[in-house]
Structure 1
């Protein structure tokens, strides 16, 4: 093996390790955030777990969360309106509700 090839392989190995470490930290943060959201929205999810309007919004909720709120699908909008109509005292953001829908 040429010395240059060995250096490139070592650098790739270090980059992969750093990337994996960063990924683990990010997923831990996301997991903690989702856990907090799920705890805070237990009342919503327990009543919505069998709700067809809410369950059909899961794909739109995933797009909404992944795009940080930029992509708002029709089914998600319907589910958000439905949840707010059935839970008028609820104080949760659209993002919190979308994350709770994903947790169902």
Structure 2
């Protein structure tokens, strides 16, 4: 690969990695996946220099951290939703309603 082609190829890899990072910041996980899929295609036919690999790895770690934070946030919301559901089930049982029985407001509507 010529030097100009290699420079262009490396810039494409950096751009895709940067776009993945920006998409991760916005929670656009499908876009993150698409960027990494394109980057993988670029990497199939060409060896990567260690310095470039290190640069991309640093960016990848930032994306990984965003993914972990998003997973923790979703997990926290699911736990909170489960607690609210348990509380509502307790209120319904106190009112004598079964879980699958619609609340009175829904029955009247």
TM range (shorter): 0.3 to 0.5
Greater RCO, 1 or 2 (C-alpha within 8 Å, sep 6+): 1
- With normalisation by structure 2, the TM-score equals 0.41
- With normalisation by structure 1, the TM-score equals 0.43
